[in-house]
A and B are shown apart, each in its own frame.
Chain A
Amino acid sequence: MTGAYGGVVSPAADASARDRWRALALTDPVSRLVRNAAHAGIDDDEYDLRLLALAAVDIVVGSMGFAREATLDDVVDELAGLAARMAPHRPDQARDVAQTVVRGLLNDAHEQRRFTYRFADLGAPGEPARWEAYSFRLLSLREAEYGPVLVASDQAVTLFLHGLDVDLEDADRALAHVLQRQLDDRRFDAAARTAAQAERTSVGMSAMLAELLDATRRDVGSHDWEREVPERLLRARRHVESRIAEDDRLLEHVQGGLDAETSPEVRAVSGRIVDLLGRARQVHLDLERRLVGAREVFLSAQVRQRLARRRRLRMLALREELLLPVLELPRAEAALVASAFADRALGVSVPRLVRFDDLVDALWAPPRAREAAEPEIELVPDVDVSDDVQRYPEQVVAAAREVLGAAADGEVRLSELLAAVPDGPDAAEVTELVLLSALWAFAPDVAAEAEGEVAAEVDVLAGGIEAERADELLDVPGVGGPDLVVRLRGGATGATETPAEPADVLFVDVYGDAYSRETVS
């Protein structure tokens, strides 16, 4: 004979030992969280943590299967409220207490793993015990569309809702009596269950309707008010209609039974059903109120949004009707208009998504190997080639380097350098690169350099040269401002001038040659 006690105690005790042991184990996490709470400075004498744990399971179970389940925040808030009522003099601690309870039920101390207990199966007398692991969860976190929600495990539901729902004082007699009575006259039981079911449906419909109306207030076009919504409303109205009539009928019936019946047990059960029906009736009346107002919400939103419909930009004279009025507005209001304009005017923006491996590979890419510096041109320690389309091609960099190499022989004018750019398909790009390098040499942007936000080529080419302002103006298409004198850094000494802001000195049309040819005339 095998069994938990190996038949030592009694066959009957033996047979149910495992189940009873499980029920015992299921309550242990709560005891454990009460013990651990002491370490967190929460006094068991001030808070009833067991009740809070029960409440947490109740709140979670109460919302499961509804359109909106209890989120973590909901539960913590609710528990904090209860905790605050237990210790009104410590309002600061209520939230900690709530967190401790939720964390305890999630088994946060063990990374939300399952609670695991070992059951010793003793088997036949004389044999060594067989250990058997029993693991379970009480609450767990899931992600729902509106955030993290809490879900109760089957064990939590069974034990905390049903298993402990027993009047310990006189459970036997009362239960038997109630049961007998309900069996005699099946109506109460059935009525209560139907009422509860109907209440759930109504709460769900209520939530759906609230969501729909909110969405409509934001945007009339969000739901199909032509066909789909009226159908839904009709369905909801029928449901409510039948329920409200039913609620009244049931209430009357139960109330009648209550008056006629004298046994206290039946009175108690009837009282509970009356409560339940009263709540359901309230939900139905709420729902009805919402339904009555639904059409109105749609109509007013439609009027409002139709009037406020935005106009197309092409219908505005941008200068008179947009720019000038905006300039006269106070800052906050101007910002509103400007950002609304910018949002539409800036066009498509591409959201960036990640892939785990690609991101890690990119982050951990080995640093690029540096080439040795070429001795004769100090301007070029490193040109790294990558397939970035924003980069200048190799041959352009080489050509620009050659042009700038003239500075190694002494001072040279920027205009001369630009004139020395060889004709060819890349001439425009080489010119641009030489220009940028000279400008960079004139006024390096140290901050940008430190953050690595400077095109590598410009940095490299300009690294070894310096430039200062000359008296003449430049005469190159697409470029304005004074000419520059370019030389090797630390080369011939001239009067040192304070570098001015580059914008004062030189205007470079960075949009490239094609653009400047077309627009500069």
Chain B
Amino acid sequence: MTSVAADLTEVRAAAELLGFALARRARPVEGGQYRALLDRYRSELRFRDVVDTMAEGLGLEVLGTPRSGLVLAPDPAGPFATRLGDLRSTMDADDRLVFGLVLIGIAAYAYPTDADFDDPETKLVEVATIDGFIRAALGTLGSLAGVEGSAEERARAAAQVYADLPQLITTQTGRRARGCTLKAVEDVCGWLVEQGAAREAASLGPDTFHLTDRFRLLVADSAGGGALDALRDLRREDVP
């Protein structure tokens, strides 16, 4: 942060840019104000400082500026952080374990190597493939070493719950019913879509999703952990 006083019009523009970034639906289309501000952020060091400083004050951090717009991550204590209550409110402990496992599974499946974090190519995932990938990895997750309460122990527990769930239960109308792992993966994908971290790729068939730059940057920002590392190792063996 510099001690130079910022121009008020600059501050206003910075706030406007953060506003665009917070509204997930906003897209920096050519000729639009969002695009102009985004380009300014990319090219003008001083403006960038103002935006970053303002974001910091709001409890936000700028993770990156892909073409789809400014990607922000919240300070866990700040007003923008997602609380568990913002997820589906009827989740019990097992649901949460599975949700976390699927999230990690998708991340590991899409970005096995560090180079993937810098590759702007959009990854495609399918519900059934993710389920298969996680199922194949359950053994490895089950053998992670870690004491009671550690992340590794939670991963073991999550793997256990996942292993005990059936792959598919259908409702009377033929859709996937809650309580099976395919539905769990579908739910997480749906949630990612809500977050702007994925989009449905309906033109490539049902159950197919693109992971957006937002998701890539979110995962790249992660410090990893036993479960994520183990799954990424496994995935690297799949794709040399």
| A interface, CB within 8 angstroms of B | 67-68, 72-73, 76-77, 99, 102-103, 106, 108, 110-113, 140-148, 207-208, 211-212, 215, 222, 350-364, 366-367, 451-453
Contact = CB atoms under 8 A, between A and B. Distances in A.
B238 to A, nearest CB: 8
A353 to B, nearest CB: 4
A143 B66 contact: yes
A147 B201 CA distance: 10
B135 interface: no
A356 B107 contact: yes
Nearest to B71: A353
A386 B82 CA distance: 18
Contacts of B158: 364
Nearest to B151: A364
B215 to A, nearest CB: 9
B32 A211 contact: yes
A369 to B, nearest CB: 10
A352 B80 CA distance: 5
B230 interface: no
B203 A350 contact: no
Given A143-B122, A354-B195, A363 B99 contact: yes
Given A215-B32, A350-B80, A355-B73, A141 B97 contact: no
B121 A222 contact: no
Contacts of B123: 111-112
Contacts of B96: 363-364
Contact of A352 (B81, B92, B212): B81
Contacts of A359: 82, 100, 103
A111 B240 CA distance: 11
B79 A113 contact: no
B30 interface: yes
Contacts of B86: 352
Given A102-B204, A353-B82, A363-B97, A145 B222 contact: no
B190 to A, nearest CB: 14
Given A73-B203, A143-B67, A350-B79, A360 B100 contact: yes
B183 interface: no
A22 B133 CA distance: 34
A208 B31 contact: yes
B64 to A, nearest CB: 12
B239 A110 contact: yes
B225 A357 contact: yes
A142 B120 contact: yes
Contacts of A102: 204
Interface stretch (B6-14, B19-27, B43-51, B173-181): B19-27
B155 interface: yes
B153 to A, nearest CB: 8
Contacts of B72: 353
B232 interface: no
Interface of B: 22-24, 27-33, 35, 60, 66-69, 72-74, 76, 79-84, 86, 89-90, 92-93, 96-97, 99-100, 103-104, 107, 120-124, 148-149, 151, 153-155, 158, 195, 197, 199, 201, 203-205, 210, 212-213, 218-219, 221-223, 225, 239
B89 A451 contact: yes
Contacts of B97: 363-364
24 contacts: A72-B201, A72-B204, A76-B204, A111-B123, A113-B239, A141-B210, A143-B67, A145-B35, A145-B67, A215-B32, A351-B23, A352-B83, A353-B73, A353-B195, A354-B74, A354-B82, A354-B218, A358-B81, A359-B100, A362-B84, A364-B100, A364-B155, A366-B154, A452-B89
B213 A351 contact: no
A267 B77 CA distance: 73
Contact of A367 (B93, B195, B197): B93
Nearest to A364: B154
A363 B84 contact: yes
Contacts of B32: 211, 215
B81 A148 contact: no
A68 B81 CA distance: 34
A27 B17 CA distance: 45
Contact of B221 (A73, A103, A356, A452): A356
B158 to A, nearest CB: 7
Nearest to A80: B203
Which one of B24, B35, B93 has the highest number of Cβ atoms from chain A below 10 Å of its Cβ? B93
Given A73-B203, A353-B74, A367-B93, A108 B124 contact: yes
Contacts of B221: 355-357
B30 A211 contact: yes
A140 B123 CA distance: 9
A120 to B, nearest CB: 19
B131 to A, nearest CB: 16
Contact of B33 (A73, A222, A351): A222
B121 A142 contact: yes
A352 B197 CA distance: 13
B89 A453 contact: yes
A112 to B, nearest CB: 6
A142 B122 contact: yes
A355 B155 contact: no
B72 to A, nearest CB: 6
A106 B29 CA distance: 26
Contacts of A111: 123, 239
B80 A353 contact: yes
B67 A144 contact: yes
Nearest to B158: A364
A510 to B, nearest CB: 19
Contacts of A142: 67, 120-122
Contacts of B89: 451-453
